[in-house]
Amino acid sequence: MKGILSYAVLMLFAGFVSSAAASDNDSGNKFVRDLMKKMTLEEKIGQLEHPVIQDKTDFKELEEGVRSGRIGSFCVTKGGKLTLEERNRLQKIAVEESRLGIPLFFAFDVIHGYNTVFPTPLGMSATWNDALVEEASHYAAADASGSGIDMGYAPMVDVSRDPRWGRISECFGEDVLLNERMGSAVVRGFQGESLSDNTSIASCVKHYVGYGLSMGGRDKQYTEISERSLREIYLPPFQACVDAGAAAVMSAFNDISGIPASANRFTLTDVLKEEWGFDGTVVSDWDSVVELMNHGIASDKKEAAEKALVAGVDVEMKSDCYLSGLESSVEDRTVSLKRIDDAVYRVLKLKFDLGLFDSPYSARNDIDEGYVRELNRKVARESMVLLKNDGILPLSPRTAKISVVGPFSENQDLLGWWTGNGNQKNVVTVVEGMKNISPSNTVIVQGTEARSKAPVTVVCVGEPGSTFGESNCLSDITLSRSQVELVREVKQTGTKVIVVVFNGRPLVLDPVLDYADAVLLAWHPGYEAGNAVAEILWGMESPSGKLTVTLPSASGHIPLFYSDRPSGRPSENKYKYEGKVKASFPFGFGLSYTEFEYSGLEVVKNSDNTVDVSVTVSNVGDADGKEIVQMYVRDEVASVTRPVKELKDYRKIFLKKGESEVVRFKLLPEQLAFWNVEMEKVVEPGGFKVWVGPDSAGGLEGRFEL
């Protein structure tokens, strides 16, 4: 076995700061500790309750709960239609009528926008533009905060490699690094400089952990995950968000190898709170505490509460096991007062950091709606991935007539599954966008009129927001047969066919590829959908999005992802009647209206074991454009198997036509570290392959040795 470089066991216990150990100079600490001295056990448990405000909520009951200190915070749902005034009224009851006047916090699913809805997270990830994601998240937070929301249940950083699972649309794709970077961008965007700013909200990172591996792509099912996979794939995005300062983490629904995530001491306490030093609040997912009974590890609510709290869940969402069980658990010593105090401290400290003790009431923020719309359009444009182009795009300004057809041509269902506080009525459809953006000499025809022959037809296909997201899983992710048939029929009329796909999850698109002269993957782009599509089709901006998920050519090939482990006999990685399994479009892929050439790869290992990797990227095509330069690495021989390729860094650059740029990456030893046979995080000496290129399938290849 190879040796281990000086860069040895990392992080283990390194940053451990328990709340109990927080410094006494921390005014939050003293304030909270003094407050806790005045609290009864019932009031303490009340702070851990996080009931839901939804359509049929009985407000009288909630008010009484707030008044008596039995409710610490709320999960607000869209159906609950909580106005800012009602929020402040409930807050007033907490502050003025409860015994200790402890303010509430209100949380909401601010997933991809609030009043203005941006592209779905999976769509946003295809921008590979962390700064843009951060800015969009910042506006979402400011919007939400001005509507009385103190916490957003985002980002969702569940690495997922199974597009049958509807919730893949909520994450940042199949890759660890992208989930790390995009997730931390959301945390920074939400939380800003300080949680107490009136434009900030707390970030609740979810769903901790491994939920993306739900068996068979069916929601909330068992997950079988080794500690190695947890540490290499599923945990790192959460750790990145914790390092970025995330105030809260949501414990997931799934059972992790026999121990449900919401009762999992190893993941919640040993790793999250102790190894990583997370001093924020753990909130359970919706009913995931009471559901421990369904999992078969608790016989009643009291036992469910004990298992969740002892494992590390501080706050219980929706169900009321804590309220009904914990008092007697303290009496019979199944749960220690110390653990209750730790959980309560975390909640009160969060409220303190949010500034709620000083300013419990919310007021509207002055948001420049026009700017946010513009930003939405920009993110949408950058998220779109051009999969195929036989030369029809960008459209020629001489095009006299364009038909726009298909089930999504005049459809406003382009907001995804979570729609924030948004309304489909505000979505610009493709027909409207084409009318807004097209030159005056181009006639746009739609609906029945569209049957009159046009030289170019835009066929808008995809999946409605109700077919992906939570609980919406599919056994077959192929674009529906009727839509494939529509594309075929349109092609037979002799027109050029541009297929625009509005999808939440990756879809199998092979059946339409032969009938399409161009295919643009548009995701669910949000309010500015139609304008963004039209601007891309007309070439006002060159497409620059790239896939953050592999597009398989058949549902039966799932899971298919680029960073697989090498097998002993790769030649047998195939199906009898189809042969070798190949992605239709690989991870990282996306076309542009221009062409980029890669040359002059240089790989230099420095004496401190850092590696400088540089490459020249030239825009050799006919348009200006953005390119996403991707660097992948493979550890050639290690003590445990390593992925065939792993994304290690990326850079999005803009090059005018004819321009070149030298793109430089620095690989640090910790980027090459992995969990060895003894489950220590190490870098092992030896050879590494490195590729820099436009996607996971190509690129220039180099090598270095450590």
Q: Which residues are catalytic?
A: 285
- Residue 470 touching ligand BGC (CB under 6 A): yes
Between residues 206 and 388, which has the closer beta carbon with respect to ligand BGC?
206
In the chain, the amino acid numbered 292 is L
Name the minimum Å distance from CB 195 to ligand BGC: 19
Compute the distance between CA of residue 357 and CA of residue 537 in angstroms, rounded to an integer.
51
> Shortest approach of ligand BGC to residue 79 CB, angstroms?
10
Site string for ligand BGC, 429-468 (x = CB under 6 A): ----------------------------------------
Question: 247, 195 in Cβ contact below 8 A?
Answer: yes
Q: Report the helix count and the strand count for the chain, using DSSP H and E.
A: 19, 28
Neighbours of 164 (CB within 10 A): 21
Task: For residues 378 and 361, give the distance between their C-alpha atoms in angstroms, rounded to a whole number.
Answer: 33
285 lies in the binding site for ligand BGC (CB under 6 A) = yes
Interface residue with ligand BGC among 43, 49, 109, 413 (CB under 6 A) is 109
C-beta closer to ligand BGC: residue 287 or 410: 287
Backbone angles phi, psi at 172, to 5 degrees: -105, 30
Size of the site for ligand BGC (CB under 6 A): 8
User: Does the footprint of ligand BGC cover residue 273 (CB under 6 A)?
Assistant: no
| 53 vs 462: CA distance, rounded Å | 33
Please give the residues from 642 up to 661 whose contact with ligand BGC meets the rule CB under 6 A: none
Strands 281-284 and 259-260 come out as unpaired
Contact present, 286 and 275 (Cβ < 8 Å): no
| Residue number, 251 or 483, with CB nearest to ligand BGC | 251
Nearer to ligand BGC (CB atom), residue 279 or residue 285:
285
Of 115, 52, 72, 104, nearest to 361 by C-alpha is 104
Phi, psi of 205 (to 5 degrees): -75, 135
- Quick check: 38 and 100 in contact, CB under 8 A? yes
Determine, following the binding rule CB under 6 A, whether residue 105 of this chain makes contact with ligand BGC.
no
Whether residue 478 contacts residue 423, with contact meaning beta carbons closer than 8 Å, is answered with no
Rounded CA gap, 673 and 653, in Å? 28
The answer to the question of residue 75 lying near ligand BGC (CB under 6 A) is: yes
Q: Any contact of residue 206 with ligand BGC (CB under 6 A)? A: yes
Which residue from 105, 128, 153, 345 is in contact with ligand BGC, where contact means CB under 6 A?
153
Per the CB < 8 A criterion, the answer to whether 529 and 116 are in contact is: no
Q: How many residues does the chain have?
A: 706
| Residue 624 in contact with ligand BGC, rule: CB under 6 A | no
Measured CA to CA, the distance from residue 601 to residue 663 in angstroms comes to: 10
Q: Is residue 139 within the footprint of ligand BGC (CB under 6 A)?
A: no
602 binds ligand BGC (CB under 6 A): no
Q: Kindly state the tokens that stand for 344.
A: 């309560």
Cβ-based nearer residue to ligand BGC, 415 or 706: 415
Q: Using the rule CB under 6 A, is 112 a contact of ligand BGC?
A: no
Residue 121 CB, nearest approach to ligand BGC (Å): 12
If one asks whether residue 208 binds ligand BGC (CB under 6 A), the answer comes out as no
Asked whether position 286 contacts ligand BGC by CB under 6 A, the answer is yes
Using CB positions, name the residue nearest to ligand BGC. 153
Is 524 a binder of ligand BGC (CB under 6 A)?
Answer: no
Q: Is 68 helix (H, G, I), strand (E, B) or coil?
A: coil
Handedness of CA 118, 120, 122, 123 (dihedral sign): negative
Kindly tell me which of 249 and 434 has the beta carbon lying closer to ligand BGC.
249
| DSSP reduced 3-state for 77 | coil
User: How far, in Å, CA of 451 to CA of 455, rounded?
Assistant: 11
Q: Which helix (H) or strand (E) holds 632?
A: strand 625-635
In the DSSP assignment, the letter for residue 449 is: G
> Cβ distance 327 to 354 under 8 Å?
no
Q: Which of 336, 360, 356 is nearest to 348 (CA)?
A: 356
Interaction between residue 219 and ligand BGC (CB under 6 A) = no
- CB of residue 367 to ligand BGC, shortest distance in Å: 23
Residue 611 sits at φ, ψ, to 5 deg, of: -130, 125
Binding to ligand BGC by residue 124, rule CB under 6 A?
no
Residue by residue, DSSP assigns 413-427 as --S-S--TT--GGGP
The minimum distance between CB 285 and ligand BGC, in angstroms, equals 5
Q: How far is the CB of 681 from ligand BGC (least distance, A)?
A: 30
417 binds ligand BGC (CB under 6 A): no
Q: Is 158 in the site for ligand BGC (CB under 6 A)?
A: no
The nearest distance, CB 601 to ligand BGC, in angstroms, is 42
Distance of CA 95 to the CA centre of its chain: 35
* Residue 371 CB, nearest approach to ligand BGC (Å): 28
Assess contact for 509 and 584: CB atoms under 8 A: yes
In this structure, is the dihedral angle defined by the CA atoms of residues 506, 512, 513 and 516, taken in order, positive or negative?
negative
Residues near ligand BGC (CB under 6 A): 75, 77, 109, 153, 206, 285-286, 470
